[in-house]
């Protein structure tokens, strides 16, 4: 692709995404539809997707951004369920789809068939997580979905690499396959953790938010390329680096965090829109190539829809079967283990920490979050027409069609029905807000008590350094602010509890009060900005003075947004 084409696609996808968000429409589907329509306009060139662009430019920042928001502690707590879905479901889907493709496509070899399965195996939980967060899914479900989406990409791309080598004539045994898989995991995680640690230490030693965020911008690309060069999984390297940096992010300066979050949110919107626009633009070309092949369009489309049905059905079967089988197996193993531990006095104090339980409704939601996305496209475009050893990849055009049909089909079928399914099953966790607020109150009380102890411990030193009058004024101002924050937090908790004891109309009226106050405050802030800009335009205000005043207004509005997000957290 030429640079001009990239810029046009980015701009167009951004316009469509903005319109979709404005109207509350599914942005991925609308972007694909608009791009497909554009591809039929006379004079629009065929867009050739470069696999290197997707794998090394688009994928790393998307994975890194997603991993920054995942709780490492929750990830570790649910790691068994995440690994089961992120690796087990991908492998099972790859081989089941491979079996179907091998039977339905006459000239398809077994390695090439599994290659197709590996391409369509990994779900992209970004849109599912966004829907779940909006509708209030329980945090343990969100953790499983987010964690799965981080590691299933690595499993899929590693399978693609292994079976592409087999298609090219490599003779690999099962143990060699497992060795390649294990090496990719080990090297990828090690590279990611090392680079994440180095990046974090460097960021801690400098006090420049811009440079710190530039380091964060470069980290996913460096991690991906380094791991791939060392025969590791670039995807896992990016994920490991992101998890490490995200976990340690609270230790960096506040300005760094305030700049980092909106930047990665903007990058997500831009890159995801770009990928789905590429899907739509490429779809016409793929259909034409399939129509000109020996198999014909009708047969290939039929195979693609059969694969779509298999992909949709395999996930629920695996989710339920693997979850309950694992629970039975864990019970049998633990019962023996605990009996043995009781015989050893030194082990009697050891406590077993079980994985978070999921009920059938939560498992149903997880089983329906199988929408495919960026990685499926990245995997299929990485498959060459001819391997490095000179062996043609059989039915490559059909592989592309299957990947596109599965991606668009899952977005349509599961993406559009998931919100209704969540509401129908009533999976929302209504008590999560109460638990969060109670934890916040307890934490604030603890931090306030320790802060006041610190004040008394440091009072003499501050008095010697700043003088008694200035020290007392500073202490009174700081402690008064702590008291106001504590009172506001407790008042919010009381109002929140009171809201649940009144009727719907009264509850809505109470909740409208802070909204009205916020709207009025924002209108007043906008008026202040208007006056500042008017004075600047009239030449009565220096630019530096204007920026300083606007910075204060922006800070006030940022504080309002922060309070609003805190009060509406799920």
pLDDT for the residue 313: 96
State how far the Cα of 295 lies from the Cα of 105, in Å rounded to an integer: 9
- The pTM score is 0.79
pLDDT for the residue 238: 93
pLDDT for the residue 311: 95
State how far the Cα of 147 lies from the Cα of 144, in Å rounded to an integer: 5
pLDDT for the residue 352: 44
Q: Are 88 and 318 in contact (CB under 8 A)?
A: yes
- Give the tokens for residue 291: 């129509």
pLDDT for the residue 348: 47
pLDDT for the residue 494: 54
Q: What φ, ψ does residue 392 adopt, rounded to 5°?
A: -65, 140
Q: Are 499 and 507 in contact (CB under 8 A)?
A: yes
3-state percent breakdown (helix, strand, coil) of the chain, nearest 5: 80, 0, 20
Residue 391's SS3 state is coil
pLDDT for the residue 565: 54
State how far the Cα of 406 lies from the Cα of 413, in Å rounded to an integer: 10
Residues of the chain with pLDDT under 50: 346-353, 568-570
Beta carbons within 8 Å of 80's beta carbon, 6+ residues apart = 326, 355
Q: Are 193 and 237 in contact (CB under 8 A)?
A: no
DSSP, residue by residue, 551-570: HHHHHHHHHHHHHHHHHT--
Task: For 50-342+355-425, give the CATH class.
Answer: mainly alpha
* Cα separation values, 408 from 238, 277, 465, Å: 26, 12, 67
- As beta bridge partners, residue 386 has 392
């Amino acid at each position: 692709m030429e640079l001009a084409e990239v810029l046009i696609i980015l701009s167009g996808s951004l316009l469509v995404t903005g319109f979709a968000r404005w109207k509350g429409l599914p942005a991925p589907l609308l972007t694909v539809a608009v791009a497909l329509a554009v591809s039929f306009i006379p004079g629009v060139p065929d867009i050739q997707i470069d696999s290197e662009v997707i794998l090394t430019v688009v994928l790393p920042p998307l994975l890194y951004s997603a991993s920054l928001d995942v709780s490492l502690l929750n990830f570790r707590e649910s790691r068994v369920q995440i690994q089961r879905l992120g690796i087990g479901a991908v492998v099972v889907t790859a081989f089941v789809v491979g079996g179907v493709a091998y039977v339905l496509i006459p000239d398809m070899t077994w390695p090439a068939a599994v290659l197709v399965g590996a391409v369509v195996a990994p779900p992209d939980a970004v849109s599912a997580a966004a829907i779940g967060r909006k509708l209030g899914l329980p945090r343990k479900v969100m953790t499983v979905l987010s964690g799965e989406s981080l590691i299933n990409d690595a499993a899929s791309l590693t399978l693609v690499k292994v079976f592409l080598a087999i298609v090219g004539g490599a003779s690999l045994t099962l143990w060699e396959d497992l060795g390649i898989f294990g090496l990719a995991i080990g090297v990828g995680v090690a590279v990611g953790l090392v680079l994440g640690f180095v990046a974090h230490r460097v960021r801690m030693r400098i006090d420049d938010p811009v440079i710190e965020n530039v380091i964060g911008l470069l980290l996913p690309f460096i991690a991906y390329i380094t791991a791939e060069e060392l025969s590791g999984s670039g995807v896992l390297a990016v994920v490991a680096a992101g998890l490490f940096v995200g976990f340690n992010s609270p230790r960096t300066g506040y300005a760094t965090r305030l700049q980092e979050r909106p930047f990665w949110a903007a990058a997500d919107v831009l890159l995801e829109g770009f990928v789905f626009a590429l899907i739509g633009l490429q779809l016409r070309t793929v259909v034409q190539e399939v129509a000109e092949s020996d198999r014909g369009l009708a047969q290939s489309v039929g195979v693609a829809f059969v694969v779509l049905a298999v992909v949709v059905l395999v996930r629920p079967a695996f989710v339920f079967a693997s979850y309950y089988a694992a629970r039975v197996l864990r019970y049998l193993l633990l019962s023996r283990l605990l009996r043995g531990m009781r015989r050893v006095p030194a082990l009697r104090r050891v406590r077993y920490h079980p994985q978070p339980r999921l009920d059938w409704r939560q498992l149903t939601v997880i089983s329906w979050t199988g929408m495919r996305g960026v990685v499926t496209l990245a995997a299929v475009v990485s498959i060459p027409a001819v391997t490095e050893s000179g062996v043609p990849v059989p039915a490559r055009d059909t592989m592309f069609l299957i990947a596109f049909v599965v991606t668009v089909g899952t977005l349509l079928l599961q993406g559009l029905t998931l919100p209704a399914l969540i509401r129908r099953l009533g999976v929302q966790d209504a008590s999560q807000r109460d638990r969060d607020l109670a934890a916040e109150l307890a934490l604030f009380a603890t931090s306030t008590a320790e802060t006041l102890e610190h004040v008394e411990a440091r009072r003499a030193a501050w008095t010697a350094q700043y003088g008694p009058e200035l020290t007392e004024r500073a202490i009174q101002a700081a402690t008064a602010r702590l008291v106001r924050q504590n009172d506001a937090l407790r008042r919010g908790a009381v109002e929140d509890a009171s809201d649940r004891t009144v009727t719907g109309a009264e509850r809505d009226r109470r909740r409208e009060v802070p909204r009205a106050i916020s709207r009025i405050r924002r209108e007043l802030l906008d008026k202040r900005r208007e006056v500042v800009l008017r004075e600047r335009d009239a030449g009565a205000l220096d630019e530096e003075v204007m920026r300083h005043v606007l910075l204060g207004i922006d800070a006030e509005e940022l504080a309002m947004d922060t309070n609003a997000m805190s009060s509406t957290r799920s």
